[in-house]
Amino acid sequence: IKFFSKTLPNDELSIQNAIIVTRAKRYPLLIDPQGQGKAWIKNKEASNDLQSTNLLAKHFRQHLEDSLSLGRPLIIEDVGEELDPALDNVLEKNFIRSGTTLKVKVGDKEVDILKGFNLYLTTKLANPAFTPEISAKTSVIDFTVTMKGLEDQLLGLTILKEKAELEGERVKMLEDIQANNKRMKELEDNLLMRLIDDDDLIRTLKITKVTSTDVKQKLQIATETSQKINIAREEYRPVATRGSIIYFLIVEMSLVNVMYQTSLKQFLQLFDQALERSPRSPVTSKRITNIMEYLTYDMYKYAVRGYYEEHKFMFTLLLALKIDLQSSRLKFDEFQTLIKGGASIDASTAPPKPPYKWLQNDSWLNLVELSKLYQFSDILNSLNRAGVAWDTWFKKDEPERAELPDGWEPQLDKFRRLLLIRSLTPARFVKSALDYVIDSLGPRYGDGVVLDMEKMWDESDKCSPMICFLSMGSDPTVQIETLAKKKSIDCNAISMGQGQEVHARRLLTQAYGNGAWVLLQNCHLSLDFCEEFLLQLTENTDRIHPDFRLWITTEVHPKFPIGLLQISIKYTAEPPQGVKAGLKRTFAGLTQEQQLESNTHEKWRPLLYAIAFLHTIVQERRKFGPLGWNIPYEFNQSDFNATVQFIQNYLDDMDAAKQMQWKTIHYMISEVQYGGRVTDDFDKRLLKTYVKCWFRDEMFDSNFQFEEKTYRIPKMSRIEDVFDYIETIPNYDSGKVFGLSPLANDRYQEDTTKKVLDTILSIQPKEARGGAGETREAVIYRLATETLEKLPPDYIAHEVKERLAKLEPMNIFLRQEIDRFQRVLNAVRRTLIDLKLAIDGTIVMNEELRDALDRMYDAKIPTVWLKLSWESSTLGAWFTDLYARNEQYRSWLKLDKDTRPIAFWMTGFFNPQGFLTAMRQEVTRANQGWSLDNVVLTNKVTRMDREALKEPPREGLYVYGLYIEGAKIKNGVLDELKANEKVLTHLMPVIHISAEADFGTGAAPSKQDRRPVYYAPVYKKPRRTDRNFVCTLKLECPPGDKAGPDVWTLRGVALLCDTK
């Protein structure tokens, strides 16, 4: 009771924390992200003249010395991970006694300490890494609110609003119990005293007996009343539980992006608002439903407004999942299967995959994991049984909306259906998840939230700034200025950066007085200044005009002040995606010099439109990941302006009678204006192809089209014609308009799914339990034991050396490979053995082992292994690779000294470039007069698979196991992918790679080379960077194909050693 009356939350943990704060020998340091501990201390010490300060305050030293010498409590708020050295002697209580007084050294000054001094430190950091010294000097107490604690607080709030008399009764009853207990204690003490002095003993005993009977009766009545009150309170428990779930989900989102900070105070205001505004009802159960629905939607709108587009959907999905988990509509192991899939399964131990082309290996492993759930126990048999029906369903345009085959339709609700779709066709996950969200939470949650600046302004007050998180191409300045004009308020904008603080300070001081608006742009460039005005907004706020508003724009910054984020309203204003929106933006942003009328040349308008189209396409193509651009370049408005300027100058200087010099234009656009940003050779080739295909004489024909017939150059007499034409463009772009395969959109959806699920997995609390009630440690202990049993034996160094004694390029290569592989084996074995010992408690669980445990539980590869080995999508896939690589090395070593494997699995080498170089060296040595400098790779795509090979080639080598992305090979030549194939990567037939001398004679190509060839880059992994680049191989274009290699360049066709 003593604690409650000082606004301390009434849950168990908070009470224990409060006892430590008041009783501990050392001064307390509170980890208090929600500020509840701070509020309680300020209340508790209010009557003792509590002085509050922080380490950055100008008068911090003064405050410390005053509190010591006047004997007052001091609270130092929002400390970081380091403390001011001036506090050391105070924290360690190095007091010097002189006579009856105590003194302490603060810096170089001795200060008296009076009775009554007390020190409290608080930090807003949720997970601070304090040094051991700080932990030793202070009592570190975690005041972070817990799920149960928050639930009890919210229940108290709800009852206070809904049944005020109940809460009043409860508090009065608690006070009575406290008073009665105190009285009993006094009577006992009194009796003890009298026992010593026994004159009035009989009388005292009588009084004690009567009073104690009376007190007992009162306590009995109090207990009964408390039971009644509790039953009435429990009715409202679902409201508190829902509130607690939503708050903790919002807190989890700050792990996704450090800027997503919401304070408990903001949340409690919204909770209060929901109780006030939700529809009333005389029936309690209906009223409770009303509050829950209003609260959930209100919090959803509030939270989603401050998230980037890519995280909005993820938050909505998590909200539905958490609510359903709490109400037991879905089980924890189903949730785990949804986010992990078959990531931890090793393909070699899984049941064999049926031989369907459409069924990918990853999908099969997902289904194996899914079959462990009771409801899906028959799914693997069903696939074997009704393969054709599943194939038909899989190839439909929208399988998630189609009826499921083999009698599954009536068995599955929306969530179980989502589980199946996530396992079989991840590309359709987002659409299916949206159906589930709508089914679970209601149709409003499927529409998204439109940003309403005016409504947000209504919500805000003079002390809550409005922060916009910037992204590429977004800038809310125009909207803010328009709103200010509409409300006829002055709005002053200033762009932050070096030396701008002085002007910003002046603007703010004026605006505090006259109630104007201030817009501070790019605040991530002036973080210290943010701390400065944060203090002004939280302290002496009376001098700020009530109409004053502060608008802020910032990019994401890990050091951005949390305090500022927690008091502000956050929003994002991302530009809409797609070709249509991009073209609109470009034409709406044309300057005076870029208008249709600004040049009289007849070719000016089509050229302007073509540049605008190119500008949009190169930006939008980024969303397809490596299939789009190898490196996602930040093309921006200045590239567009420079190109337009060049074209205008070119047309002005051009002789009207002469032809267009396309070579000049191509060079300027693809090498200088846009090409200036491009650093990757294959990206440069792609950009040149776009420019070459679109900027030519045919573009002035009325029949000209960009890659797809919907996209043309409109007739442009006025600018309105352009906007009218843009309105006719479809809202959703197919891959075709980019020159990509029609399946590229599926790849984009798959990547989105992977991002969403990986992010959800990464923010899950680390102490979650497995399905069968096993702890994380038990799961990993079992996994480590099983893996150690299956791990390949070590390579014996002297045996390898003896077998590869002959100094041939290939032998040297194999020795290096085995050395590297052995290092990986050592690391894996060491980690797994240490993990088991650490889980048993024999050795200390260090950072490295903790990381391994967390990552293995999430089916990810531990960081120590990754550094030494290769990337892979999941732990299961990584181990499958490990065994396959080991198999290739072992079988090569088993052969006689002079024999080689018939074909090589190039994916299984650490250094495939080294492998090809060793082959070139061998070919060079076999041909007299050749030197390595002028020997180049040549290749031929055979029509065989690995099984058909009987002997190695005479020269060069056979390579199998490569994949082609963006096209397929049919009869040895490139072939288009069909939309209903649904698969973007296909296995390549065996390739014969050899080497030939290129003496640069420039002779005409022989007859077989006349067919156009496409030079396809080969990469080790789907991430197409220079680090993963191996070589280029020639692929023949189909016969009778007019377009030649350009089509395949735009398709982004490449060969991959590995698709994971």
DSSP conformation letters of 188-236: HHHHHHHHHSGGGHHHHHHHHHHHHHHHHHHHHHHHHHHHHHHHHHHTT
Give the SS3 label for residue 665: helix
In this prediction, residues 806-821 reach a mean pLDDT of 90
pLDDT at position 323 over 60 = yes
Q: Which residue, 429, 407, 409, 427, is CA-closest to 419?
A: 429
Q: How many CA atoms lie within 13 A of 685 on its CB side?
A: 17
d(CA 460, CA 466): 8
Per residue in 882-911, pLDDT (tens digit) is: 999 999 999 988 888 778 888 999 888 999
Calculate the average pLDDT of the chain.
86
Q: Are 319 and 441 in contact (CB under 8 A)?
A: yes
Do residues 566 and 262 lie in contact, with contact meaning Cβ atoms separated by under 8 Å?
yes
pLDDT at 197: 62
User: Which residues contact residue 128 at a Cβ distance below 8 angstroms, ignoring those fewer than 6 apart?
Assistant: 31, 80, 81
- Answer yes or no: is pLDDT of 518 > 90: yes
* More confident position, 867 or 228: 867
pLDDT over 50 (residue 970): yes
CATH for 461-566 is 3.40.50.300
**CA 964/CA 510 separation, integer angstroms:** 64
What's the pLDDT tens digit per position in 658-672? 888 899 999 999 999
Tokens of residue 303, six digits? 């939270």
The alpha carbon of 416 is separated from its chain's Cα centroid by a whole number of angstroms, namely: 25
CA 668 to chain centre: 38
Domain boundaries, the chain: 4-145, 164-234, 237-325, 329-440, 461-566, 579-738, 767-899, 903-1060
Task: Judge whether residue 100 has pLDDT over 60.
Answer: yes
Closest CA to 923 of 937, 909, 912, 913: 937
Q: 818-838 pLDDT, tens per residue?
A: 999 999 999 999 999 999 999
Taking alpha carbons only, the member of 228, 210, 211, 113 closest to residue 170 is: 228
- Asked if pLDDT for residue 232 goes beyond 80, the answer is no
pLDDT at 440: 92
Evaluate whether 4-145 and 461-566 have a shared fold. Answer: yes
Query: How do residues 56-78 score in pLDDT, each as one tens digit?
Result: 888 888 999 999 999 999 999 88
The residues with which 29 forms a beta bridge, in sequence order, are 121, 140
Please, which residues have CB within 8 angstroms of residue 933's CB and are 6 or more apart in sequence?
Answer: none
766-782 per-position pLDDT tens digit: 654 444 457 888 889 99
pLDDT digits (tens, 9 = 90+) for 568-582: 999 998 777 888 888
pLDDT value for 770:
44
Distance CA 199, CA 353 (A): 96
Share of the chain above pLDDT 70, in %: 96
pLDDT band at 1009 (very low <50, low <70, confident <90, very high): low
The CATH code that applies to domain 903-1060 is 3.10.490.20
Give residue 310's pLDDT. Answer: 86
Q: Any idea what DSSP says for residue 672?
A: I
Q: Which of 863, 855, 905, 915 is nearest to 880 (CA)?
A: 905
Cβ neighbours around 818 below 10 Å, total: 21
**pLDDT beyond 50 at 1:** no
For residues 458-480, average pLDDT = 86
Which pLDDT score, from 0 to 100, does residue 138 have?
92
> In this predicted structure, what is the pLDDT of residue 1006?
46
CATH architecture assigned to 237-325: Orthogonal Bundle (1.10)
Alpha-carbon gap, residue 340 to 168, rounded angstroms: 48
Cα-based distances in Å from 573 to 311, 475, 755: 14, 7, 21
3-state secondary structure 697-739: HHHHCCCCECCCCCCECCCCCCHHHHHHHHHCCCCCCCHHHHC
Under CATH, domain 579-738 is a member of which superfamily?
A: Region D6 of dynein motor (1.10.8.720)
Q: Which residue has the higher pLDDT, 393 or 12?
A: 393
- At 275-287, the pLDDT tens digits run 998 998 888 889 9
Please report the pLDDT score of residue 199 as a whole number: 62
Distance CA 909, CA 1057 (A): 10
Token pair recorded at residue 874: 């999941």
Residue 610 pLDDT grade (very low, low, confident, very high; cuts 50, 70, 90): very high
What's the CATH fold of domain 4-145? Rossmann fold (3.40.50)
Q: Among residues 55, 53, 113, which one has the least CA distance to residue 85?
A: 55
Predicted confidence at residue 438, as pLDDT, reads 92
Q: What are phi and psi of 630, to 5 degrees?
A: -65, -40
Asked if 306 contacts 260 with a C-beta cutoff of 8 angstroms, the reply is yes
Nearest-angstrom CA–CA distance, 114 and 70: 6
The DSSP secondary structure of 410-450, one letter per residue, reads GG--HHHHHHHHHHH-GGGHHHHHHHHHHHHH-GGGGS---
Mean pLDDT of the region 950-954: 86
| Residue in the structure block whose two tokens are 């192991």 | 333
**Closest by alpha carbon to 728, among 741, 739, 743, 715?**
715
Q: How confident is the model at residue 5 (pLDDT cuts 50, 70, 90)?
A: low
